[in-house]
Amino acid sequence: MVEIKTDAALDAMREAGRVVAQALEAARGAAAVGVTLHELDEAARTVLREAGADSPFLGYRPQFAPTPFPAVICTSVNDAIVHGIPDGYRLRDGDLLSVDCGAVVDGWAGDAAVSFTVGTPRPADERLIEATRRALEAGIAAAVVGARLGDVGHAIGSVGRTAGYGIPADFGGHGIGRRMHEDPPVPNEGRPGRGFPLRHGLVIAIEPMFLAGGSDAYVTDDDGWTLRTANGGRAAHSEHTVAITEDGPRALTLP
């Protein structure tokens, strides 16, 4: 069931989104060659703790997962697409890192992700990351009252396909509110004019994830969480929580 939020709820979700943005900035600021993924998780935990926010990631166990998620961020390195678990891996020069973070403040959730390179960037990685950012912007721009979810997916998917990237079919955005994952699902490809109609008060997480090399195929690690490209190519992921309003789309997880 899709829950339409009141304007007061949208303002409350903005507060959660602010904390998410701060936690992502802290993780990104801590990321450097030689730093462990655990340390990035610690940086994000500190922000959540100081803001009095809970983590919707920590202890989360969706149907596909064999174990509860053990951290407040996902850290997906190089060929990892999403859901990577922070561990003792030390970042290396040229790594492509995607960090995904959530926060719950006063019962309302926010969810956002960012990809960036550590140390010396590879041009191909910069293009891949930039494409997910452009797709996110296009998806947000399409999230207007009167449009449909297919328009959002079409906007995202067109950017990725035009650039020659793969798009995994089974993972994408979602409604968000009191729970991190709510209806409706927000696929990263779609048919214009089709799907759930967008109206004031609907809040969705929009999250393009693109795979270099053009294949859509992915595999799941033995940990049951980490999704990886099947061909070993790199992946990037960008996400914002976005409210559809009569005044236009409102990205709630901007800094």
Interface positions with Mg ion (CB under 5 A) = 100, 111, 113, 205, 239
* Run of H or E residues at 109: strand 108-117
Alpha carbon distance 207, 28 (integer Å): 18
Question: β-strands 182-186, 235-237: how paired?
Answer: unpaired
Count of other CB atoms within 10 angstroms of residue 247: 8
Alpha carbon distance 230, 223 (integer Å): 16
Closest CA to 131 of 166, 181, 104: 166
Nearer CB in complex with Mg ion: 166/175:
175
Nearer CB in complex with Mg ion: 2/192:
2
End-to-end CA distance of the chain: 30
How far out from the chain centre does Cα 82 lie?
Answer: 8
Taking the CA atoms of residue 189, residue 146, residue 254 and residue 135 in that order, the dihedral angle to the nearest 10 degrees is: 30
Q: How far is the CB of 120 from Mg ion (least distance, A)?
A: 27
Residue 94: how many CA atoms within 13 Å on its side-chain side?
A: 4
Nearer CB in complex with Mg ion: 44/113:
113
Nearer CB in complex with Mg ion: 41/100:
100
DSSP 3-state of 131 = helix
Nearer CB in complex with Mg ion: 103/159:
103
Q: How far is the CB of 100 from Mg ion (least distance, A)?
A: 4
List, in order, residues 6 or more apart from 24 with CB less than 8 Å away: 44, 73, 99, 101, 112, 113, 114
Q: How far is the CB of 1 from Mg ion (least distance, A)?
A: 19
Nearer CB in complex with Mg ion: 70/164:
70
Question: β-strands 173-175, 250-251: how paired?
Answer: unpaired
Alpha carbon distance 79, 145 (integer Å): 36
Nearer CB in complex with Mg ion: 234/240:
240
